[in-house]
Structure 1
Amino acid sequence: MGINNSKLLKSKKSKSKQIPSHDLLNKEKESTYYLSNDINDVDRLHIHHFFKKFIFQNNFSSPIEDKLIKGDCKVLDVGCGPGTWLLELSNTYTNSQFFGFDMTPIYPQEIKPNNLNFIEGNIFNGLPFSDNEFDFVHMESMTLIFTRDQWNFVLSELIRVTKSGGFIEVVEPYIISDEAGPIFKKLHGGIYNSSLKRNVDMKLIRNLDSIFESHSNIRKVHRDERKTIIGPNGDKIGSVYQQIFVSFCTTEMAIESLSNELGISEEKFRIMAEYDVIEEFKQKKPEVDHIRFWTQKI
């Protein structure tokens, strides 16, 4: 987990406190299942980006667009994955500067706009940037990664590197299984219980704004929510999220982990995730709620 030797980092040094090394080693080990970087997983991340853009009808909720258009706006995406969000924004707002940060280098190494740079590193070492450096700091899809204490640490880092008057935005999904059938509930329960064993509670996402607001130097935390029915009962966009969910459950690492969690064979799990739950979606209406939490640094 190194940091590259970009010009940006040569003169920058993080002032953050690091998570203890034993916690970092455990975190890297636990993250392996959720950080598959085969081509199917990268495709899923791309699709999820465009799904979110469609349901929100934009790429962000923070009131930062005027500054992006004007230029001289510095943007950081933490946990940027394949860089889909950044690639779209850097091509749209060509006078602003964009930086992606992730522990797994699945982002483009060479073919990218001149105003976009990617940096490899681990958030649990602290962000390798100075205080008050960015106008807009963005992060998404970390529900299955961070424990509550780690959320506090990460949020403090996002706030630290944001300029006074700049914006911080965090985007996370939350499954609502009230109208779900038994197969979906079993699959989702496996994901939830396996996460709890790593001290990761997916339910805290519903109240992430209260964790955010426990930090100083920020204004009111806003929340922008969009609910979608998963499957064909949610029209075409519901079918897209069905594809995202099934793709997540059928990576090799997910099949191994979740079949063990549910106490069934990998073959039986594949049938459940690739066929049974899709048939069930035709009759049921489980929902996914995507929430954008955004605030401004004082």
Structure 2
Amino acid sequence: MGCTSSKFREKTESIESQSSQIEFPTEFRYVDGRRFHNVENAVYPLPNDYDELDRLHLQHFMMKFIWQNNFSAPINHTLSNPGTKVLDVGYPLVEFVGLDISPLQPTQIKPKNFKFVKANVLEGLPFEDNTFDFVFQRYMFTGCTKEKWPYLINEIVRVLKPGGFLELSEPSKMFDLGPATQRLFNGLIELMEKRGLDSNIYQKLEDYLQNQGQLENIKKEVKQCYHGVKSNNIKLSKVVVNNMVTAYGSFKLALLEALQISNEEFDELVKISEKELFDFDSFNYLPRVYASKVIDDNSEN
């Protein structure tokens, strides 16, 4: 299922490319064969094309394997109820109903009870108050600036029903890095800081939820993701490293600017880093923080 998009890629990408360039000529911009959002003042540095979609598919199933589930919030009983409403913010994959769906995949595989809504979440979620039973958000660290995080969390809580759960997941920085990998990550941190992004957001999720004022039962769970032998699963380590190397490619344009190096130098750094990630047994933390919205006297049953 993780490679579903590739089966349709050639035909649908051609149609999509023609559509976006003819009907919506300013919706995207194209640089060195990669497609990017063309939103004014956007800080998100990653492309929006099928290569990136494949990477996100791989990352999704990698995360599912590491956690052995799709979410940590205690909502299994809620998902089994007819009429339950779930919102996935930002991350382009949803698997709460046993299906893996992406907004770049053909519309004919989308279930009838599933809807894609295109909106800029940093300008507000286009939903009424108290709409959703569960709101899930993952990997917004590359798209949400430091100053916008409280606003974004307030918006999630606003559209969450009293008694409903939200869950946030953002990765940590990498640790135990080799020289080449450290140089690449220094470039990543530099470009994030220049764009006003928070590379330490994973450490602040609990505080944001505690300070929000309308949440309770705040819990945090953390997995440690090794890239080498400490993972006790060499196959998984190879998948994790492959995802990281592919991510370098997605960040390439931004990293070339941040590091002020040539294409050849960049490719050599990535090649060395691929070996370093395993040899140095680099790792990062994968936290999940979840909470429920307070039920007050004014809340509807």
Q: Same fold (TM over 0.5)?
A: yes
The amino acid across from 1:198 in the alignment is R
1:223-234 aligned within 5 A: 223-231=220-228, 234=231
Match of 2:141 in 1: 143
Following TM superposition, by how much is the alpha carbon of 1:154 offset from its aligned partner in structure 2, in angstroms? 0.5
User: 2:98 matched to 1:91?
Assistant: yes
Corresponding residue to 2:272 among 259, 276, 279: 276
Match of 1:247 in 2: 246
Match of 2:88 in 1: 77
- Structure 2: gaps of 5 or more residues: 1-38, 295-301
User: 2:178 matched to 1:154?
Assistant: no
For residues 192 and 229 of structure 2, the distance between their equivalents in structure 1, rounded to whole angstroms, comes to: 28
Following TM superposition, by how much is the alpha carbon of 1:80 offset from its aligned partner in structure 2, in angstroms? 3.4
Following TM superposition, by how much is the alpha carbon of 1:231 offset from its aligned partner in structure 2, in angstroms? 4.1
For residues 237 and 219 of structure 2, the distance between their equivalents in structure 1, rounded to whole angstroms, comes to: 26
User: 2:201 matched to 1:197?
Assistant: no
For residues 99 and 218 of structure 1, the distance between their equivalents in structure 2, rounded to whole angstroms, comes to: 29
Match of 1:238 in 2: 237
Q: Pick closer, same or farther for the CA change 1:267–1:232 going to 2, 3 Å.
A: farther
Q: Is the 8 A contact 2:73 2:290 kept in 1?
A: yes
Q: Is the 8 A contact 1:148 1:201 kept in 2?
A: yes
Following TM superposition, by how much is the alpha carbon of 1:263 offset from its aligned partner in structure 2, in angstroms? 2.1
The amino acid across from 1:151 in the alignment is W
Deviations 1:35-72 (A, max 9, x none): x1222210110111111111111111010001112332
Following TM superposition, by how much is the alpha carbon of 1:99 offset from its aligned partner in structure 2, in angstroms? 11
Q: Is the 8 A contact 1:175 1:288 kept in 2?
A: yes
Match of 1:25 in 2: 40
For residues 242 and 209 of structure 1, the distance between their equivalents in structure 2, rounded to whole angstroms, comes to: 28
Q: Pick closer, same or farther for the CA change 1:260–1:99 going to 2, 3 Å.
A: closer
Match of 1:38 in 2: 49
Q: CA RMSD in A?
A: 2.0
Match of 1:21 in 2: none
Following TM superposition, by how much is the alpha carbon of 1:91 offset from its aligned partner in structure 2, in angstroms? 3.3
Q: Is the 8 A contact 1:61 1:292 kept in 2?
A: yes
* SS of residue matched to 1:261: helix
For residues 223 and 113 of structure 1, the distance between their equivalents in structure 2, rounded to whole angstroms, comes to: 32
- Structure 1: gaps of 5 or more residues: 1-23, 93-97
Q: Is the 8 A contact 1:90 1:113 kept in 2?
A: no
TM-score (norm: length of structure 2): 0.79
For residues 107 and 162 of structure 1, the distance between their equivalents in structure 2, rounded to whole angstroms, comes to: 27
% identical aligned pairs: 31
TM-score (norm: length of structure 1): 0.80
1:109-188 aligned within 5 A: 109-177=107-175, 179-188=176-185
For residues 105 and 209 of structure 2, the distance between their equivalents in structure 1, rounded to whole angstroms, comes to: 28
For residues 141 and 122 of structure 2, the distance between their equivalents in structure 1, rounded to whole angstroms, comes to: 16
The amino acid across from 1:226 in the alignment is K
For residues 183 and 119 of structure 2, the distance between their equivalents in structure 1, rounded to whole angstroms, comes to: 35
